[in-house]
Structure 1
């Protein structure tokens, strides 16, 4: 297993800086090495930020067949971490005055007016509290029939009463955002959002020039695969990006002041907590925990039951006090990739873990928690 530190970050290094960098590398190695060995993960890219200083560590292979090592240019499928970027686009549309989270779907899609889903708000769709939309679309739903699906859907609960994690919910949320911006969703992400966040190696549609950097994902039998996009895939799980780009996104969330208006306000908007759900608070994309947070609480908030089952939700009347006392996180997976992002603005620390195998979420969280505990001043 090889580990590569991005050399461009620190040149030349003082002896003190070199010692500190070696210390951080040792922290990451200790957390990541056992995970890769236990779950036979072909490759990983792990990025951390400490007080504004970025590091990227690369492990293993992006392609087993071609013996291609993971590098700073390697693209990973983000899976549901894409949802946070979709949420940021929606927040941006709201800042521009083109979208309101209090609106209902029928305002942007007249064909949904009067249907049960139109009782939910845009906010409900973005926080999975619309009334019980399922985790995935039924297999028979296609791009041609998705509107009929939403028109015929029947809720299991009143809007805001429960959170049920859902790709259809977030997919419709992203689609409404694109309609509000009068744009194709992928165009809005690639031409408006990514450039303003400084993301130069993030894509909905990977261009031919970047395809050599696109890692292969691997299933349980280590067979290579890339995702097969489904209905509203781009909004729910369709972003491919490098670890360095995702670290830039994390750093923008830690310190939004570095961004120009209105993107600064858009990023701040995704850090508002809206619903208390068990051990965590659901915001737009990001899930939140009071910091410091135990590993047990973090695992509970990302447990199987939180993903696969409906959970009671309680609407918060005010934003939790002080983002400096909050840990933000999001998991993401596709058939061949498994990822996790977490950061604490008040401590100026964050971690991005991208892997080309969908290994268990508890293992990702344990590794990230161990890294953050060591990075915290």
Structure 2
């Protein structure tokens, strides 16, 4: 059985790893000239770490486990602290963080090199599995559309479906060296600034604030230079050309199905969500494992895709809705009275209670995939 995966990001490579693991031949078509350094950092919640375990992807010392931190206001006053022991006990795994480039590399290395094709722009995908791309045409048993929030495959399958909508905020991301930085999220009016330690004293930071789409970005050094340490230093130590800036969009109208014919939509192509729960990449990895399990347990591709859709669509769309809601209650909250109430409520919560937040999302466990046969002894 042969699968074509359109897109070589986290979801696409995760799907390729899973399908290869259950015995499929896989070809990954990536439009970019190489599988390279994409983005800045990413948080890996327990549900994603379990998926990587099931895929057989070992991140080793590239994964940074978060040990302490919490929520603060712009002056650095603690609102609530992060109880790491309670979090790991309740959620079953710690919160991890990694460079996106390292995660992409780990997933890429788990796929046979001959399965990866770069500079391959897909020009047509048909429901029967026929795929045309620059350099060739192939008939596949399964097509996995993991081509991102602006998915061409999704648009071809559902041309009347509404396009992604603006999430209300614009975001900046970067990585800087800063020994001793601690995990934290700090809130201001309509603003969130996050600090996520990586390995080797690297720190992933992000800034998101409410604005109109397409507005000229603010000067980060001027606008956030009076926030608490280490925020000004992190921004100042990141070369301007290395700072990523994107308006945030999401798939505001949920799809009615993630499968059509022999095509499965996966990751942002299926359920692009705002980043306010840190679950975008995590949900893509869940998709990858469930899809691999479905094709390894169902008798036909059609039955496998029905199973995949039935399992993934309700959960991923619920997480997407929760991401929107958390944005409105968190980084996008601008009313001073509402901010005061939120701060008072968070301060009143014991750390043990705070650690339970999100357990219904991060506690998800992937289905078991077939294990590779051990090598034969001569």
Same fold by TM-score, threshold 0.5 exceeded? Answer: no
The TM-score by the shorter chain falls in which range? Answer: under 0.3
Report the TM-score, using the length of structure 2 for normalisation: 0.25
Structure possessing the higher radius of gyration over alpha carbons? 2
Q: Which has the higher helix share?
A: 1
Q: Which has the higher strand share?
A: 2
Report the TM-score, using the length of structure 1 for normalisation: 0.25
